[in-house]
Amino acid sequence: MLTVFDSATIAARERLEAWREITAASLMPTAIDSPDPAAFTARLDCVPLGSSQVTALAYTSLSSRRSPREIRKSDPEHYQIALIRAGRQGITQNDVSTMIRCGDLVFYDSSEPYEAINVSATSPAEAVILQFPKRLLPLRADQVASLYATALPGTAGIGRLLATFLSSLADGHTHCTERDALRLENVAVDLTTAALAHHLELKSPPLRSPTHTLYLRIIAFIENNLHCPELNPTAITTAHRISPRYLHRIFQLHHPVGVATHIRTRRLDRARRDLADRRLDHLTIAGIARRWGFAHPADFSRAFHRHTGTPPRDYRNNT
C-alpha cells in the first residue's frame, strides 16, 4: 500500500487539520474533531483498485460527522464497507446507531448523513475501508439501505472471506499492476455483494416465487447472450414467451435498473475487462465492441466514454 499520510512527519499543532484535508481528498469531506488535538496521531495508506480504493487507517480519539452540507458540497456517490481491526467505533446512519467492535464489518453510504466516533484510551483505532462507486453494486439501493450502520460479523462465513481479503490487501507489499488492480476491484465488489446479499436474505428470506425463478432464468439468458447484437428486450420476451410489460415488471421487482440498462452495463463491463487485457491486444477496439454485441463502433465509443469517463482508446493505452 502507498502511505499517503503519517502524522509523525507533521508538527503536533497541524496534525488534526492536515488529517481533515487528507481524508476529504482520499475518502470524502467530513467535519472531524478530537478531544485532545495536541495528542492526535493518525496514518493513512491506500491502494487504488480501478474506480475503487482500499484504505487502511489508524487514528486516536476523534469524532467524524458528514452533514447534508458536506454532501451537497461533494458527494462521490460511493458505498463504503469498513473492517474494524482495532478499537471500538460507534456509527449512526439512517436512524440506526451501532457500536462496531474489532472484527466487525460496517456498511455505509456517502450520500446519507452519518456520525462516527472513536474513543481510544491507550492505542489507535484501526480500520480498512473499501470504497467503490454505487453503480458497481448489483443490489437495489432501497434494500441495502437496511444494512447501513449495522454490525456485520467479519469472523465467520462470507464476512470472514471479505475481511480476510481486505486485510490481505492492507497488509500486502506485493507490487500490484494497474491490470491487477482492475481484477482485484471485481473480486472486492463481488465479495461485498455476496456478504450484503447474505445478510439481506437472513433479514428477509427470498420467496422462490415463479416470478423470481423467471427473473433468474432471464439474467442467465442475458449473460449467455451478451455477445449477440440482437440481444434486446424483444429477444428476451420472445425467448421466454412473455409480454414486454411483464418483463419490465419483473425487473422493477427484482433488479436495481431496467433490462436495457442492465444489458448495456454488462456489455460495457465485459468490454472494459477485455480492453485492459494485454493478451487481447491483437483485437481492435471495434473487434472488442463487436465481441460484446455493439454493432456500431461509434455507438460503443460514446457509451464506453459515458460509462467509464474515458474514451476506449485512452482507457486501453493507459491501463
Asked whether the predicted pLDDT for residue 171 surpasses 90, the reply is no
Mean pLDDT for the chain?
90
Nearest CA among 159, 64, 63, 146 for reference residue 113: 64
- For the segment 58-82, the average pLDDT, to the nearest whole number, is 92
- Burial letters 110-125, b for 16+ CB under 10 A, else e: beeebbbbbebeeebb
Asked whether the predicted pLDDT for residue 146 surpasses 60, the reply is yes
Within the chain, how many helices (H) and strands (E) appear? 12, 12
What structural domains and CATH numbers belong to the chain?
2-203 (2.60.120.10), 210-318 (1.10.10.60)
Check: CB of residue 294 under 8 Å from CB of residue 303.
yes
pLDDT tens digits along 148-164: 999 999 999 999 999 99
pTM exceeds cut of 0.85: no
Asked whether the predicted pLDDT for residue 173 surpasses 70, the reply is no
- For the segment 97-112, the average pLDDT, to the nearest whole number, is 94
pLDDT tens digits along 42-61: 999 999 998 899 999 999 99
pLDDT at res. 278: 83
Residue 182: pLDDT band (50, 70, 90) is confident
pLDDT at res. 188: 94
SS3 115: strand
